[in-house]
Amino acid sequence: MLPDTTVSLLLTSAAGLATVHTLIGIDHSLPFVAVGRARGWTLCRTLWVTALCGLVHVASSVAIGGIGIGLGVALDQLSWLESSRGRLAAWLMMGFGLAYAAWALWRGERSHAHSPRTTTWALFLIFAFGPCEALIPLMMVPAAEGAWLVLGAVVVVFGVCTIGAMLVAVALGYAGVGWAPIPYLQARADLVAGLAVAASGAGVLFLGL
């Protein structure tokens, strides 16, 4: 059994790391703000898409950690996998953004015939590959001690704080874009959105944001 002080430290660390990691990472919010505004989504729809992507983002790392525990693999040995997934997700985000921008140029910004469902699924898949780098190390301590309830609490706290921070950041960004209407950018909303998503991926890949 883990001491209460250790449990408190783990839960506090999970909340803090999840919140800071999410707010610092522009890839956790900018793509949703840019695509939501460009597609004409309501704030409610944008937040739903954000929440679903955030859920699969956390769940994928939990699944990998759970498989590692079940197979008796030390969780710190999974760090290489999470790192590889992070690079793959960044490349996918950059590629999706550039493809979206290219589509906008090809369409000449005259139509919104691009399927919103396709856009949603693309973001969903990208975040399914995106790892929560800070989560697996936090899972190591309770897993090593067989403290399964504590492990579950760490996962829940990390997940709730990650998704909550994503929703707050996206809501603020969505409102901020609405307060600053720029006709030139509004006329090229899809192009700007694609470039913004690509920039998010590039920032993670090359700048470690």
List helix spans (H) across the chain: 4-24, 30-39, 43-71, 79-107, 116-129, 135-145, 148-179, 183-186, 189-207
Q: Domain count for the chain, please give it.
A: 1
Read out DSSP for 56-104? HHHHHHHHHHHHHHHHT--GGGGHHHHHHHHHHHHHHHHHHHHHHHHHH
Structure tokens at 83: 């790192």
- Considering Cα of 183, then 124, then 129, then 32, what sign does the dihedral take? positive
Segments forming the whole domain that contains residue 157: 4-207
pLDDT for 112 beyond 50: no
Contacts with 190 (C-beta within 8 Å, 6 or more apart), sequence order: 38, 39, 100, 101, 103, 104, 107, 109, 112, 114
At 35-69, the pLDDT tens digits run 888 888 899 999 999 999 999 999 988 888 787 77
At 135-167, the pLDDT tens digits run 888 888 888 888 899 999 999 999 999 999 999
